[in-house]
Amino acid sequence: MVQALWPGRFTWVLHMASRLKFTCMLIGVLGILEGCAGASVSVPTRFPVPLVQKVPLVVGMHLPDELTNYTFVQDLGQEGEFSIDLGDAQRTMFENLFTGMFNGIELVDDPSLPHEGIAGVLVPHISELQFSTPDQTRSDYFEVWIRYQFQLYSRDGQLLGEWPLTAYGKANTQNFGLSTTEPTLQAAALAACRDAMAFFTLQFRSIPAVQNWLAAELLGGST
């Protein structure tokens, strides 16, 4: 009786081994496809208005086309092509930031021209973006670095100064279920933008060019 059972059991073992081999091959193929998929994300326009002590001035805001159309694209070979669209979010981001920081803001087409009714013009630029994937860092995190460059113009259209600001954001793939790449990269880029807003509010009054401008506008009584 025992010997009679062995042929069937042997066939069953072969069947299970074949299924296991197929499953492992399928997992491997899916892993390769996922690794090559890359990602294409747009930063959402969800930004808070900072609750800070306002500078009692009305300022102009000039948003260059290269800022509002900014998209970063990088091909990482086997990991695929990654695209991060920041442009759509920049208008809302800076409108909310400057609304929270100043008594009023006005959109300006050309910061180098004289303007009445405003104390100066702020112009943000994106000079560089970098990001890293979990495969690169051997971690569960996507990380994004954005380097901004800000310019400050006087009410007469003179460039008073410029300064850099580097922002950082990261997001954990474990927080995004099965589909981890696109939502995690998007969350990391959004976190970097919000970090830029927070850092700007903390850094702004310590910039030498800004200090001189504020002294002239507020203490000089030219507003």
Tell me: the pLDDT tens digits for 134-182?
988 899 999 999 999 999 999 999 999 999 999 999 999 998 876 788 9
Same-domain pairing of 10 and 108: no
Q: Is-above-0.75 flag for pTM? A: yes
Contact by Cβ (8 Å): 168, 218: no
Give me the pLDDT at residue 37, please.
74
Give me the pLDDT at residue 176, please.
85
Same-domain pairing of 25 and 73: no
Count of domains observed in the chain: 2
Low-confidence ranges of the chain (pLDDT < 70): 1-36, 178, 220-223
The tokens 């006005």 sit on which residue?
Answer: 106
Contact by Cβ (8 Å): 106, 60: yes
CA–CA distance, 212 with 223 (Å, rounded to integer)? 14
Same-domain pairing of 167 and 203: yes
Same-domain pairing of 42 and 54: yes
- 188: closest CA among 173, 200, 171? 171
Domain with 30 in it: 1-35
Give me the pLDDT at residue 219, please.
81
CA–CA distance, 150 with 160 (Å, rounded to integer)? 11
Same-domain pairing of 103 and 7: no
Same-domain pairing of 178 and 90: yes
Same-domain pairing of 133 and 153: yes
Same-domain pairing of 2 and 78: no
Same-domain pairing of 70 and 18: no
Same-domain pairing of 80 and 188: yes
